[in-house]
A and B are shown apart, each in its own frame.
Chain A
């Protein structure tokens, strides 16, 4: 019996200001799988994340995206979030005046229902998550991402992911700007939210450091808006050792 892919992207093309960034992406993630997308700056990694989340600046010009068989591209961003897509931002936006605790309750309530955002179960989950991520209780009274260090921002994104428990977590360079301990902590957070469940994750990264801690099932290499090579975890090591030039040459030779 065939398994319905958690995420299925076919021929996805997207533009911003009439400049085509994604030039035909195909990708399939099965439940319980962790995939990684690697590539140089400007290859379209963050664009992929934003397009999947429905950022209004991007126009999808071709292709389709299904989450659990449902058409994701037909949904507004908040509907995608409620359907189970979570994006951990590379540069999360600050919202001065909105307290972290208040924001978390609103967000969990909007996505998982009012009951999920109150009571001892929520409080315990919050407490455990904060302890695991090394966030002090006073963190809840601070304003969302306002004055946070780079590491605090990333940990806060992961805390949200742990509370929301998405079907599909997209981590856009969550590892950049983190020290080794931070990466390990984030990796534990990803494992806790994804492994052993029917959820999946798409990790977008420059480096293979985070992939040493979150063992991906598949690695995809994105060059100029297209996935040009896919493989197992060994592909990340190869990229670390040899860079991207050899893949580019391979692509050119094939063309």
Chain B
């Protein structure tokens, strides 16, 4: 099969993006020049409270003009192989569309149910201007390998909480390429618990003035999980704001990586950006890497900072909880949940938070 992907299949192993999870490992068959057959997942939308999805919110097959309008070039620098591959193997492209000025009080769930050996989907996100909504994309099902490519834009002056969760599953490669229009306020959350292997590459572009982005990650790795997340935020517009807070609780013999790139382009005057990776090490055999990077090409910025913190459970916190009657297991579980809850509680409304907590809590006993 001839594919634009094949031009990018041979990746630079020394590049930052592939250092911890080479593309050969993330690729479903390990033969990187292969573009295998794949299944398409079932994709449906519903509201958390079970009521009908309001008019103006649809999910349907995308047209060529949708792809042209919302599809990014999929130029992920050294990381281009993954999104190009998903675009190549996905049999169909769907579009989630929320029309201008729609306000949804209840979180919207986009359920992606995977099946088969290899399952891939390309999903366009088209959020109109002045939309107010919370979107939970729930990746579930039993495919051995899942590829999800999300591309699109958040409309001008929209207020969006957009959370992607994979709480059960096997191998995952997920790529996001999303841009924020003028004055859009977006909270982009990622919740991952118990994927056996995940390679996540999330990229946001703040191209227009006044846009604001908060990226939150709540990652629970256990057993021999291998979770590698790269988060890239590019400020091109003036007076743009972004924050990244990525918490990973690492247990068992898991290997967890978080790499970040904050890029402030020339001309992005007044940009204000910061990123923090925090790893909680729960076992001696768990490994965690965090590498935040900055690339600042504009001198007139409000701020641009990064940081990383790694450590085991705080003994003093453990003692405090034990003096309140919690045995060691209960106290550890409470502290891990609290650690993961800090970014989780910032992903959206109380309703959305409650929904997420309910689903992640049962996984705490895995570590």
Binding site for B on A (CB under 8 A): 53-56, 76-78, 80-82, 86-87, 89, 92-93, 95-98, 103, 106-107, 110-111, 143, 160, 164
Question: What is the CA–CA distance of A96 and B346 in the complex, to the nearest angstrom?
Answer: 12
Q: From A54, A80, A93, A111, give the contact of B317 (CB < 8 A).
A: A93
Q: Nearest chain-B residue to A170 (Cβ)?
A: B323
What are 5 sample pairs from A and B whose C-beta atoms fall under 8 A apart? A56-B315, A96-B338, A97-B340, A111-B324, A111-B325
B73 close to chain A: CB less than 8 A: no
User: Which 10 A/B pairs are nearest by Cβ-Cβ distance?
Assistant: A97-B338, A110-B325, A98-B338, A111-B325, A107-B324, A97-B341, A77-B322, A97-B342, A93-B320, A81-B325
Q: How many residues of B contact A (CB 8 A)?
A: 25
CA distance A54 to B321 in the complex (A): 12
**CB nearest neighbor in A for B315:** A56
Contact B345 A106 (CB under 8 A): no
Please state if A98 and B320 are interface contacts (CB–CB under 8 Å): no
- Measured between beta carbons, the chain B residues less than 8 angstroms from A56 are 315, 319
How distant is the Cα of A81 from the Cα of B330 in the complex, in angstroms? 14
Is B327 interfacial (CB 8 A cutoff)? yes
Q: Is B326 an interface residue (CB 8 A)?
A: yes
- Tell me, in angstroms, the Cα distance from A77 to B322 when the chains sit together: 6
Residues of chain A contacted by B319 (CB below 8 angstroms):
55-56, 77, 93
Check if B316 is an interface residue, CB within 8 A of chain A: yes
User: CB distance B339 to A97 under 8 Å?
Assistant: yes
For residue A80, give the distance in angstroms from its CB to the closest CB of chain B: 8
Inter-subunit contact A81/B323 (CB<8 Å): yes
Name, among B314, B317, B323, the residue most crowded by chain A CB atoms within 10 Å (CB to CB).
Answer: B323
Q: A96-B338, A98-B341 are in contact. Are A89 and B326 (CB under 8 A)?
A: no
- Chain B residues near A96 (CB-CB < 8 A): 338-339, 342
Minimum Cβ distance to chain A for residue B32 (Å): 40
A106 engages B326 (CB within 8 Å): yes
Which chain B residues border A98 with CB–CB below 8 Å? 334-335, 337-338, 341
Judged by DSSP, the binding face of B is helix
Contact A92-B320, Cβ < 8 Å, known A97-B340, A98-B334, A98-B337? yes
A76 with B320: CB separation less than 8 A: no
Pairwise interchain contact B342-A78, C-beta atoms closer than 8 A: no
Residue from B322, B330, B337 within 8 A of A76 (CB atoms): B322
Q: B residues bordering A, Cβ < 8 Å? A: 314-317, 319-328, 330-331, 334-335, 337-342, 345
Cβ contact within 8 Å between A89 and B320 = yes
Measured in the bound complex, the distance between the Cα atoms of B315 and A143 in whole Å is 18
CB-defined contacts of A81 to chain B, threshold 8 Å: 322-325
Query: In the complex, A82 Cα to B330 Cα: how many Å?
Result: 14
A163 to chain B, nearest CB (A): 10
Q: Are B323 and A87 in contact (CB under 8 A)?
A: yes
Q: How far is the CB of B218 from chain A (nearest CB, A)?
A: 10
Report Cα–Cα, A80/B323, bound state, in Å.
8
Closest to A92 in B: B320
Closest A residue to B339 by beta carbon equals A97
**Chain A's nearest CB lies how many Å from the CB of B210?**
29
Q: How far is the CB of A173 from chain B (nearest CB, A)?
A: 16
Q: Which of A89, A97, A103 makes the CB contact (< 8 A) with B345?
A: A97
A117 CA to B342 CA in the complex, in Å? 24
Q: How far is the CA of A87 from the CA of B71 in the complex (A)?
A: 59
- Inter-chain CA distance A187–B130, complex, in Å, is 54
Chain A residues, Cβ within 8 Å of B320: 89, 92-93, 95
A149 to B209, CA, bound (A): 38
With contacts A95-B321, A97-B345, A98-B341 taken as known, whether A78 is within 8 angstroms of B327 at the C-beta atoms is yes
Cα–Cα, bound, A106→B361 (Å)? 15
CA–CA, A54 to B342, complex, Å? 29
- Bound-state CA distance A110–B325 (Å) is 5
Closest chain-B Cβ to A162's Cβ sits at a distance in Å of 14
Chain B residues lying within 8 Å of A95, measured Cβ to Cβ, are 317, 320-321, 334-335, 338
CB B189 to nearest CB in A, in angstroms, measures: 15
Assembly CA distance A106 to B345 (angstroms): 19
Q: In the bound complex, do residue B324 and residue A160 qualify as a contact, i.e. CB atoms below 8 Å apart?
A: yes
CB distance from B287 to the nearest CB of A (A): 23
Residues of chain B within 8 A (CB-CB) of A106 are: 324, 326, 330, 334
> In the assembled complex, which residues on chain B have CB atoms less than 8 Å from the CB atom of A53?
323
Residues of the B chain whose Cβ atoms lie less than 8 Å from the Cβ of A78: 322-323, 325-328, 330-331
Q: How far does the alpha carbon of A93 sit from the alpha carbon of B324 in the complex, in Å?
A: 12
- Closest A residue to B321 by beta carbon equals A95
Chain B residues closer than 8 Å to A92, beta-carbon distance:
320
| CB neighbours of B323 from chain A (8 A) | 53, 77-78, 80-81, 86-87, 89
CA distance A56 to B325 in the complex (A): 15
Give chain A nearest CB distance to B345 CB in angstroms.
Answer: 7
Q: How far is the CA of A97 from the CA of B330 in the complex (A)?
A: 15
Q: Which residue of B lies closest to A104 (CB)?
A: B324
Residue from B314, B327, B339 whose CB has the most chain A CB atoms within 10 Å = B327
Give Cα A168 to B314, complex, Å: 27
- Complex Cα distance, B314 from A92, in Å, reads 13
Residues of B within 8 A of A86 (CB): 323
Smallest CB gap from B344: residue in A: A97
Per the bound structure, the CA–CA distance linking A96 and B340 in Å amounts to: 10
Inside 8 A of A80's CB, which chain B residues have their CB? 323
Taking a contact as CB atoms under 8 Å apart, the answer to whether A110 and B324 are in contact is yes
Q: How far is the CB of B331 from chain A (nearest CB, A)?
A: 8
CA distance A41 to B315 in the complex (A): 24
Q: Chain B contacts of A87 at CB under 8 A? A: 323
Give the one of B326, B327, B328 with max A CB within 10 A: B326
Which listed residue, B314, B326, B341, touches A107 by the CB 8 Å rule? B326
Q: In the bound complex, how far is the Cα of B318 from the Cα of A54, in angstroms?
A: 12
Q: Which residues on B sit within 8 Å (CB–CB) of A77?
A: 319, 322-323
